[in-house]
Chain A
Amino acid sequence: MKDRSLGSQILFLITFLMLTIFAIMIIYPILWMLISGFKTNKELFLNTWALPEKFIWGNYKQAWDIGIGRYFLNSILVTTVSITLTIIFSSCCAFALSRFEFKGQKIFLLLIIGGLMLSPQVSLISLYKLLQKLKIYNTYWALIIPYTAFQIPFTTFLIRSYMVTLPREIEDSAYIDGCTSWKVFWYIILPMSKPILAAASLLSAISVWNEFMFALVFIEDSKLRTIPVGLMNLRSTLSTDWTILLAGLTISALPMIILFIIFQKQFIRGITSGGVKG
């Protein structure tokens, strides 16, 4: 519309101004975290707003050395293994649910997707006991296994709804050529599902990387801690060395921020086909 009236132009400006204020409210705390990580504690006290006089990389190094480094590697290990297991199990299951026809299929679908309705908080106590019985309490597996289990319903749901829409002609000819269902799955269905597998992995990676409650309860040894709980340790160790803590926070947040900015499209695809909070 070229000939917008004065009234609608003013409305546009006001709305635009409000959006900008919102954007600043969102971005500024994140920037403050990033920048304050370069300051000395004294600078932070004297003027919260000011830029640091000299950018002190030492804060970041110190945060890494006193723990973040270790937690970071733990998080990478736990996240990678959990996501790999989740994607393998979920895509196999989604394949069976989207292609095969058999009695009781609906029940299996309900069983898997029904897991979405059950929240981790409710099983905290009994999982804790179960992991102790299985002798994996306070090991990496105490996180990997519950994370995988709680990711499966959502990723299976996501992948299945994508596989249902894939055309079937290629499989038909593969079948005539004598392919087994395993080969069809591995060489045809999985490669065609790449976009949704990427979206599902990203969404799961975020929730696993950020998971807090299980990581707090199922791990006792501070050497095995992942970032979210490790940061709590760091806070008590540092007490008032805020700028080092802020540097640690930045290091912990960056991987997911970078992943999100690079793979925004896949993120949004995942959210839209799922519509469920991770």
Chain B
Amino acid sequence: MNMYRNKKIAVFFMLPAVIFVVLFIYYPIIQNFFYSLFRWNSFSPDRVFVGLDYYRRLFKDPVFYIALKNNALYAFISIIVQVGLGLVLAAILEEKAFRKYQTFFRTTFFLPAVISITVVGLLWQLIYNPNIGLLNAALKAIGLENLTRAWLGDSKTAMLSVIATSQWQYTGYIMILFLIAIQKIPEELYESAMLDGANAFSKFFYITVPQVADTIVVSMIITMIGGFKVFDEVYVMTAGGPGRSTEVLASYLYRSGFRNDEMGYAATIATIIFAITFVTTLIQLKASKANKEE
């Protein structure tokens, strides 16, 4: 249709969105790399060019490696729990025997994902609280008194406790992605497997898993990127402590920029987060393309 050939009108329709995205998403990212080459702080106009000094410093900085390790742990556990458990839960809820209970369980499991991380973080801080918390009370109630501790105050358990909260919040979200993917699998595949006498486990491994391979890849990437971007959970629950034991890249970025007022160093950490998440996304795009061409 001629109406849709007019490029000027098309551009006019796109203009506000394009301006917003370019000015407030792309431009700051490019700017960030530039900022990482200078020593500067938030309110003074002076900037000193330092080249790649901050990058050299970062690669020698032990806190950077603590953060990187914590991010990797975050990503790893999230992939195992959210993708693994999410898939199993979805497969169970799609079984004939469980379909009539599906709505209830689906709603329940998804619920934490709509609550803000601050609420969830502060709530779990209280649950982990050694004096009034539910967790220690529950352990005492079942006779495991010797396991009770200050979960977030102990550098051995703090990181894992924060990560556990995240699993509580997001497993249901990933489960929904799998529910939808499983619903798209043609029923005949399962019917013919039933005729061959396949049990629930072999149906899961030989039909469900291969059929939702795409969704598995996508959700692994989403959770992995999430693990390397994490900020809110850590900031709310431990602020990186005790000591530096729960520092992650984004919380270290925040600390460097807005506590220590080393904006250039913060921008350097941001560049590293960009590199990690961007490369992961490219791998995802490659993987999903390869999958489609098969």
Interface residues in chain A, defined as those with a beta carbon under 8 Å from any beta carbon in chain B:
1, 11-12, 15-16, 19, 22-23, 25-30, 32-33, 44-45, 48-49, 88-90, 92-93, 95-97, 99-103, 105, 108, 111-112, 115, 117-119, 121-130, 145-146, 148-150, 152-153, 156, 171-172, 175, 180-181, 184-185, 206, 209-210, 212-213, 216-217, 227-229, 231-232, 235, 242, 245-246, 249, 252-253, 256-257, 259-261, 264, 267-268, 271-272, 275-277
Contacts and interface: CB of A to CB of B under 8 A. Distances in A.
Interface of B: 1-7, 9-11, 13-14, 16-18, 20-29, 31-32, 35, 42, 89, 92-93, 96-98, 101, 104-105, 107-112, 114-119, 122-124, 126-127, 131-134, 137, 168, 170, 172-173, 176-177, 180, 200, 215, 218, 222, 225-226, 229, 231-232, 235-236, 249-250, 253-254, 257-258, 263, 266-267, 270-271, 273-274, 277-278, 281
B48 to A, nearest CB: 16
B21 A122 contact: no
A231 B277 CA distance: 29
Given A19-B93, A26-B108, 11 more contacts: A26-B111, A88-B16, A89-B17, A122-B277, A125-B267, A149-B20, A172-B1, A228-B116, A231-B119, A252-B118, A260-B114
Contacts of B9: 96, 100, 181
B116 to A, nearest CB: 4
B4 A118 contact: no
Contacts of A108: 14, 18
B5 A206 contact: no
Contacts of A268: 176, 180
Contact of A26 (B112, B124, B254): B112
Contacts of A261: 107
A276 B131 CA distance: 39
B258 A217 contact: yes
19 contacts: A15-B92, A19-B89, A29-B124, A48-B137, A96-B14, A108-B18, A121-B253, A123-B29, A125-B32, A129-B42, A129-B263, A130-B31, A145-B20, A149-B21, A156-B17, A175-B1, A217-B254, A257-B114, A277-B170
Contacts of A27: 108, 111
A112 B17 contact: yes
Nearest to B115: A253
A229 B25 contact: no
Given A92-B13, A152-B17, A175-B1, A212 B116 contact: yes
Given A102-B5, A209-B116, A126 B31 contact: yes
Nearest to B274: A122
Given A15-B92, A100-B9, A89 B20 contact: yes
Contacts of B215: 275
A242 B235 CA distance: 19
Contact of A149 (B3, B23, B249, B277): B23
A101 B4 contact: yes
B55 to A, nearest CB: 15
B191 to A, nearest CB: 13
Nearest to B40: A129
